[in-house]
Every structure is written in C-alpha cells, then in structure tokens.
Chain A
Amino acid sequence: MTNTTTTVTPIKISSKRSAEDRAFRGLARGAGLGTFVILFLIGLFLLIEAIPAFRSQGLRFFTNTGWQTTGPHPTFGVLSALTGSIIISIIGLAVAIPVSLATALFINEYAPAKVLGFVPVKNFLTAAVDLMAAVPSIIYGMWGFFVLQPHTTGLEQWLSTYLGFIPVFKSSTGLYTSSFLICGIIVGIMCMPIITSLCREVFSLTPNGEREGAMSLGASRARVIRDVVFPFAKGGVIGSIMLGLGRALGEAIAVAIIISLAFPINFHILQAGGNSIAALIALNWGSGGSLGTSALLAAGLVLFAITLIINMVASRIVNASMADRR
C-alpha cells in the first residue's frame, strides 16, 4: 500500500462569474432572503404587539375560554377559538380531500380530451376548478349563509336525531344554523380547488414508463392508479392537503359570516354557535380597547405559529415520502 498520509487534498474550484450572472444571482438571493425577512418581521411584530395581552393573562391565555378584554378584571384566552379552528379544519378537510382527489383523478385519468369531437371536457374542468379558487371567500360565505345553510337543516336534524348518540352529533339547542358543520363544509369547498389542482398536477407527472409497465402486465386502470399513480404522488398529495389545511385554519370572512360566536368549548358540530381564531379576530377587530387589540394580535400569533409548524411538518413528510424515489 502506498502511504496514505501523503496529502492529496481536493482542489478548490472557483471560476469568474460574468457581471450579468452576478447581478442575477444577487437579485435571486435577495428575493429569497426577503421572504425570510418578511416572515421574521411579521412574527416579531405579532410578538411585540401581543406582549400586553400575555402580561395580563400569562399562561392562562392558552387555557382560558372567555374573551373579556375590558373592565377591571379582563379574562380572555385563545383555547375555545383554537379548538374551533381545528374542528372547522377537520370538517373542511373531511369534505375537501375525497372530493378533490376524485376530481383530480377524473380530470387526469378518465375525462375524455374531447366529447362530440369539439367539447374539451378536460380543459373545461381544469379551468372550472381554477376559477373556483379565484372566487373571493366572502362570496362563499354569503352562499353558505343564504343557500347552503337553509337547505341543509333537514340533513342536520336527521343526523342529530339518528346519530345523536354519538356526542359530536348531539345538539342540545335544537338550532341547526350557524354551526361548525356549515362552516366546515364551506371551508372545505374553499380548500377544494387548491388541493384538486395541485393533485392533478402531481398525478400528471407520474412517469409514463411506470404506467405503461403496469398496464403491460395486465393492470386495470384502477390498479394503475392505486399501485403506480398514488405511490408516486403521495408526497405531493400530502403537501397539497397541508396547503389546504393552512387555508382552512386561516379562513376568516366566510366563517365570520356563518358562525355565531360562542365561547364555551363546543364539540357538537351541528349545534349553533362556535368559534375560530380568524373569525374571532375579524369579528372583534376595533373593539375592546388597546388590550383587546393586543389580545387579538396574540391570538393571531398563535395562528401564525400553528400554520408555520404545519408547513414545516408537511415539508418533512413530503421530503420523506420522496426520498425512496431518489
């Protein structure tokens, strides 16, 4: 063996960059850095503004359910709003995930490119889904309030009559409007276009070779979807769901229109009355004095932190599920 201690070190490769390259690089780097800076500044702003609220309530801010920010003994906390946000998001995703996946699969795998020789079904559907994403949330909120809500009370009554033995479906008030369920459905409809169009995109990236490989072994279309498309798209699907979840947690206006704000923690999704962080902020903004504003910003900080964490977890999951492809 030769003496391995004779030092051969890798050379350092460097080369001159053109002025154009340097400028572009700087620009891109600046923009990338800018994103971080803005995110950081938002967090910092919320934190600073929230200090009076945290001073006033301490850790009870996370366990209190009421929202009394004025008077000699203000007591308020984010717990009921937080559970409300989570309940609405869960319902929303329960609505959005199956519908979105099915729609994305239909557009990608089954929809004919053309019907009758000239109706481009596939493109129409794709455009319709994208258009759904462009509808402002206040429109969905109003539609939910004026159309969906009055037409679903029958369903809700039925659910609570026959499934009322399951606690979530119990309704002690006998009122079925302004409930978590309606909010959840509306939020679900709002998440649908994001999840659908991202899923459609990843489904369409499935390598053709693998598809044909499966088909040449006698796999039916459903098999190809299950054993080739889904495993390939897993990471992207999870990512799209997480993005949808972000939207669901943060949705304010549509929820604010429908829900009637109530502060006791409520797990009965059919019953009138509920809460959510974003709706709480939207409905109480400008009232409750300076402590009230600080309290709302503290609630905002909680929402901000949760969405950040969800996104970080999501990117972990996406990376992990992509790992076996590299």
Chain B
Amino acid sequence: MTMSDSMANTETVATDRKVASSASAGTAPSLRIDGVSAAQLESVGIHAWFGERLVLENVDLVMERTKVTALIGPSGCGKSTFLRILNRMHEIVPSASLAGRVELDGDDIYDPNQRAATVRRHIGMVFQRPNPFPAMSIRDNVLAGLRFNKIRSSHKDEIVEEALVKAGLWSEVKDRQGALGGALSGGQQQRLCIARALAVKPAVLLMDEPCSALDPGSTLRIEQTIQEIAEEVTVVIVTHNMQQALRVSDKTAFFLAQDGNPGYIVEAGPTKEIFESPKDPRTADYVNGRFG
C-alpha cells in the first residue's frame, strides 16, 4: 500500500466516524475519540452484582491503547462480567447492577448523558459462541454495524474487503459474499464476527474466549488476526488458554474468586512478568496449571 492509499483510507474512515457521532450527538456528549486509532480503556473501582450477590469487587485495570490485555482466571471468577461492564452489555441483564467508573480516553462511558448504543459502537465485542446473523449474507453481516448506526458510505466494497482481510477470512469467502452467514463453519463464523466488529472501526475490541469453540488452525488464524489488529485497536481478551495469553497479550490480569467471595484482580502486569516472575504465589500456581 502506498502512502497516498493509506491516507485516502484514513480519510474515508474519519468521515464515516463524523457522520456517526453527529447522528448520535443531540444531547449526548459524543465520546472524544480521535476516530482512527485505538483508545485507552480504564476501569476504576468496579463492583458488580447479580441481584444481591456481589460477584466483582473493586477492579482497577488500565487497558492501554493498541495493546492486548488478557484476562485470565478460573471459571466463575467474573471475567465475562467484567468484560461486559466495559461496553455496557452488563446492564441488559435485568438483575445486574454495578458501581465504579469505566473511562474511554478519560470519558466516563456510564455518564447519564451517554447512550449505551453509542458506547457499544465504539467498544466492540466478540462473543464466545460465534453469533453471525444467520439470515443475512456474509457481506451484510460485515456491513450490519454500519446499517445499525445509520452510517452511509460509498465505499462499502472497500470496507467489506478491509474487514474480511483483517479478520483473515477474505480469501475463503471473497467469491461467495452473498452466501448466508449461517452457512459458514464455526471458525469462519467467528472470523466473520470479528470482521463485523472491525467494520465499524471500534476504538476497543473486547473478546470473550473467542477461540474456545474452534480448532487449532482457526485459533492460530485468530491469534494472528489479534496481533495484526492490535496496531489500530485496543484489544481485551478473556482466555483460559495460558499459551494463548502468552502468545498474544502484552499485559495480563489474573482474576480470582475464592469460596463464594466476589472476584477481584490478584495481580496485573506485563504478560512476561505475570508468567515468569509473578509476585503472588496464587498467580504462579494458576499460570503453571496447579489449580483452576
């Protein structure tokens, strides 16, 4: 790609972003994101409840821009809950509540004037189980986010191609973009979901065990994808696979919930340190597979 090519691309994206935020402007202060590159996400004193039950206690974590942060920990310690708090998906569970702040480049995403939909459009999510829209074509799946946000674009073909290339799916589907999203294999569906999330140019991408239902080949493919996209989007990934955390992440946070107590972060830091010289013995036990 030449320099002018990439400039042109950047411009397209920047205009699209402007359309989106002016559409959602109204009363809500639109998130102050510069549009093209990633943003830093920070949680401050996050607590979470389901009904009366406290499941997360006082979670502080900085997820630096263009870095990959891995969340690890035993089952049920609140990783998914934490991840869903980061893009306001937690609140759609009727019994769920929370306390604390989440800041995207300094803006509180839980500001009362902030629309949840706008937040989610900037902080994308890939789920554990691939969930493409089965009755939409592959192309429409990728463009769904633009449609949902009423973003008009005359560069749809480029957007589709760019997103599918980044998700590592382009070569497999470029000749059958009209096929239904549900007609792909599980691994392809997951990459389609990644493409779909990338097409709206999020500042942050949250991934909840994105490879847990996939074969080793697809897993490798997605890990490559994560490392490629991390150049322009902040990635937060939940994983049970220690090797995966080691391979893809720059920073790791170890969550733990013991004996029915709420989950919290035992230790967080550069991935290398967490795996090679953890400060807490429980972290050492966990990353070396001695419990959990």
Contacts and interface: CB of A to CB of B under 8 A. Distances in A.
A223 B118 CA distance: 13
Contacts of B138: none
A232 B136 CA distance: 11
12 contacts: A210-B131, A212-B89, A212-B125, A212-B131, A215-B117, A217-B200, A219-B117, A220-B148, A227-B144, A227-B147, A231-B135, A325-B182
Interface of B: 87, 89, 92, 94, 117-118, 120-122, 124-125, 127, 129, 131-135, 144-145, 147-149, 180, 182, 193, 196-197, 200
Interface residues of A, number: 20
Nearest to A208: B131
A212 B193 CA distance: 12
B180 A216 contact: no
B131 A213 contact: yes
Contact of B120 (A207, A217, A228, A231): A217
Contacts of A209: 127, 129, 131
A123 B62 CA distance: 43
Contact of A218 (B94, B134, B135, B149): B149
A325 B145 CA distance: 21
A324 interface: yes
Given A219-B117, A227-B148, A325-B134, 20 more contacts: A209-B127, A209-B129, A212-B125, A212-B127, A212-B131, A213-B132, A214-B148, A216-B89, A216-B125, A217-B121, A217-B124, A217-B145, A217-B197, A218-B149, A223-B148, A227-B144, A227-B147, A228-B133, A231-B135, A325-B135
A214 B148 CA distance: 8
Interface of A: 113, 207, 209-210, 212-220, 223, 227-228, 231-232, 324-325
A31 to B, nearest CB: 34
Nearest to B199: A217
Nearest to A207: B131
A217 B135 contact: no
A273 to B, nearest CB: 47
A66 to B, nearest CB: 51
A112 B172 CA distance: 44
A325 B124 CA distance: 25
